[in-house]
C-alpha cells in the first residue's frame, strides 16, 4: 500500500510547525490551494511544503517514508552570504556565523506569514508569488 502526503511548514517559536495532509499525487497546484486552509499557533500560515510518499507491505504494521521532495516555498527571496554581509547589519552576525559554519551558500527568506529564514537546498523550489496567489 502506498499513500502520498503533503507536509506544510509554518513559522514556529523555535522550529517549524508541521501539518501533514493526504493528497492524491504530488500536485503542486493542489498543495498551494490546500495551503490556504492551514493555520497554526498564533495564526502562522505556511511558508512552504514538501511531498512524501509512505508505503507499507502486507506483513508490516506501520508505513515508512519511501520518497520525499524538496521544499516548495510559497514565495520568498534568495540571499547569498555576500548579500547578507553587504547589508552591513549588526543584527545579521548570528545568521552570517550560521551560514559560514554550516556551509550554506544561499538562504531563502519568506515573509508571507511570520518571517522565516532557511538554508536553500538544491532540491528546493521557490514558487513565484503570483503563482501562489492566483491558485
pLDDT tens digits in sequence order for the chain, 135 residues long = 999 999 999 999 889 999 999 999 999 999 999 999 999 988 899 999 999 999 988 888 888 899 999 999 999 999 999 999 999 999 999 999 999 999 999 999 999 888 999 999 999 999 986 555 554
The reported pLDDT for the residue numbered 6 is 98
In sequence order, what are the residues at sequence separation of 6 or more whose Cβ sits closer than 8 angstroms to the Cβ of residue 37?
Answer: none
CA dihedral (18, 22, 27, 29) positive or negative: negative
- C-beta pairs of 84-90 under 8 Å, 24+ apart in sequence: none
Domain ranges of the chain: 2-73, 75-121
The reported pLDDT for the residue numbered 135 is 47
The reported pLDDT for the residue numbered 131 is 53
Amino acid at each position: 500500500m502506498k499513500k502520498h502526503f503533503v507536509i506544510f511548514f509554518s513559522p514556529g517559536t523555535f522550529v517549524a510547525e508541521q501539518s501533514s495532509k493526504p493528497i492524491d499525487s504530488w500536485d503542486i497546484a493542489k498543495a498551494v490551494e490546500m495551503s490556504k486552509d492551514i493555520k497554526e499557533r498564533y495564526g502562522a500560515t505556511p511558508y512552504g511544503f514538501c511531498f512524501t510518499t509512505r508505503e507499507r507491505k502486507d506483513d508490516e504494521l506501520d508505513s515508512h517514508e519511501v520518497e520525499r521532495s524538496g521544499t516548495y516555498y510559497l514565495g520568498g527571496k534568495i540571499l547569498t552570504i555576500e548579500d547578507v554581509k553587504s547589508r552591513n547589519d549588526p543584527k545579521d552576525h548570528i545568521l552570517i556565523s550560521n551560514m559560514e559554519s554550516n556551509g550554506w551558500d544561499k538562504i531563502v527568506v519568506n515573509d508571507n506569514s511570520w518571517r522565516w529564514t532557511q538554508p536553500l537546498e538544491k532540491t528546493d523550489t521557490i514558487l513565484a508569488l503570483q503563482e501562489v496567489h492566483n491558485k
